[in-house]
Amino acid sequence: MTIVTHINPETLHSSPAFTQVVRVSTTADLVYVGGQNGVDSAGVVVGPDLASQTRQALANLRTCLAAAGAGPEHVVKWTILIREGESLEEGFAAFGQEWGMRPDPPVITSAFVSGLAVPGALVEIEAVAAVPAVGAAD
Amino acid sequence: MTIVTHINPETLHSSPAFTQVVRVSTTADLVYVGGQNGVDSAGVVVGPDLASQTRQALANLRTCLAAAGAGPEHVVKWTILIREGESLEEGFAAFGQEWGMRPDPPVITSAFVSGLAVPGALVEIEAVAAVPAVGAAD
Amino acid sequence: MTIVTHINPETLHSSPAFTQVVRVSTTADLVYVGGQNGVDSAGVVVGPDLASQTRQALANLRTCLAAAGAGPEHVVKWTILIREGESLEEGFAAFGQEWGMRPDPPVITSAFVSGLAVPGALVEIEAVAAVPAVGAAD
């Protein structure tokens, strides 16, 4: 059973980096990962640069997903907040290095913001994932 | 069967533009539309102004909803990000022109941000919709 | 039956203020509370300061939850947007006063933004809650 349907309408711009819309079945549990920053296990921001922080934030996010019984393939939605003045290209490159490109990427909302709660943080990445409910057919 | 209940508590400020809280039943599929900008089918930002971009973003969003089997009436939540310095009134007016006013509007979170990922984009609109699961009673 | 599982992976930084990831069962209704500002029943922003507005926004949010059959314990995700230049410490302190600390806090995404839709608003707080579906075992 398909729990997520990824759709890119033909008349809209498309990109290998995101899906335009996803439909999640009632048979899926939802996993909400709180906004992850590029911090280590002590909560200290790693590296001073966006690339290092992006890789660390995604590694943390992967750990969160795994702990909830989900994998990268289950992410249906990203929210990516980058500190103003940082380079989107640098962030995207680091994202690709750490996360890779997948056949059915999530939908994305992103923005440059004035700042983040963790001092020194340049990026915050939130995810929603959809996972087959325990006991349900995949 | 009611899949979405729209609620405006009596003791809170209310507005025809939004609902304060919605409850979505377990019998609803969820549709996540990624942040839509005012871009054409080639990904090029339309018009230079917020009004044009807002109308185009909503047209794109409508296309996404339709492709996922949903309509404007199924949207339960908006997230609207507008570039700082733009006029909220201009955006709202364009929103009304393209989308209209509906009896049970979605809940809204909105903010002015420093910038958006697409160069030249002045607005990004994300939606979550709740649709009766296939095979379920509406 | 557990409708929400709160998880803090051992290898990640943890805090009493938030949970890193939550998994929501298919047996939960979802409650979306639109971004709440520190406004009174007439829609007028209260106090000039962040602390007053934060307490009022949370009081409004509590009212919204209750109207949808949910309580503070059902919130699974916060999105907290604070106007740039405001003090995170002041916001957090007011948050703790009004909301208290709970054993299983929600996941959080937060950011400083350039501004909010309501003139004079310094904070906007959005919540997603998960509530046992009517008729389902808790």
Question: Hey, are the CB atoms on A64 and C25 less than 8 Å from each other?
Answer: no
Chain B CB contacts of C86 under 8 Å are none
Model confidence at C137, in pLDDT bands (50, 70, 90)? very low
DSSP character string of chain A: --SEEEE--TTS--BTTB-SEEEE-TTEEEEEEEEE-SB-TTSPBPSSSHHHHHHHHHHHHHHHHHHTT--GGGEEEEEEEEETTS-HHHHHHHHHHHH---SSPPEEEEEEESB-SSTT--EEEEEEEEEEPTTS--
Whole-number Å distance between alpha carbons of A116 and A126: 13
Model confidence at B101, in pLDDT bands (50, 70, 90)? confident
| pTM of this prediction exceeds 0.90 | yes
Q: Which domains does chain C show, CATH number per domain?
A: 29-125 (3.30.1330.40)
Chain C CB contacts of A126 under 8 Å are 109
Strand partners, C18: C15
As for the ipTM of the complex, it is: 0.96
The string of pLDDT tens digits covering residues B105-124 is 999 999 999 999 999 999 99
Helices (H) and strands (E) counted in chain C, each on its own, are 2, 6
The string of pLDDT tens digits covering residues A59-113 is 999 999 999 999 999 999 999 999 999 999 999 999 999 999 889 999 999 999 9
Distance from CA of B105 to the nearest CA of C (A): 11
Predicted pLDDT of residue B57: 98
The string of pLDDT tens digits covering residues C49-102 is 999 999 999 999 999 999 999 999 999 999 999 999 999 999 999 999 999 988
Tell me the pLDDT of chain C averaged across its residues.
Answer: 95
- Determine the residue of chain A that is closest to B57 in CA distance: A12
Chain C CB contacts of B108 under 8 Å are 34-35
Question: Hey, are the CB atoms on C108 and A35 less than 8 Å from each other?
Answer: yes
Question: Hey, are the CB atoms on A31 and C24 less than 8 Å from each other?
Answer: yes
Question: Hey, are the CB atoms on A34 and C13 less than 8 Å from each other?
Answer: no
